[in-house]
Amino acid sequence: DGYFEQRVVECLYSSKDLQGIEMIDSYVFNKVEDIRFNSTVGKYVGYTEHGVKNAEAWNSDAGILAQELGELERYCKQHAPIAYSA
């Protein structure tokens, strides 16, 4: 009984070139991915009916998209030296 909600943010490092970093921000509900932001695509993509509606709304808001891309700079690029040292 109950609900399972999860948000997963991943930084994918393909090379030491900071331009090659990809950030994926996924929203999961009851073990099904609803919606995902991919920094390479530059927008949200919905995978369920609810996710598609949210993707349309969030993609139409330039502030939300700018915030996600800011997370790529603030979080992923800041942690790149740690990832490369491992």
Structural domains in the chain? 5-80 (3.10.320.10)
**pLDDT tens digits, residue range 44-84?**
999 999 999 999 999 999 999 999 999 988 888 888 877 77
Q: Report how far residue 71's alpha carbon sits from residue 10's, in angstroms, rounded to the nearest whole number.
A: 11
Pairing of strands 43-46, 32-38: antiparallel
Contacts of 53 (CB under 8 A, 6+ apart): 46
Whole-prediction pTM value? 0.83
17 versus 45: the higher-pLDDT residue is 45
Of all residues in the chain, the percent with pLDDT exceeding 90 is 65
Q: Report how far residue 66's alpha carbon sits from residue 63's, in angstroms, rounded to the nearest whole number.
A: 5
Q: Which residues pair with 21 in a beta bridge?
A: 13
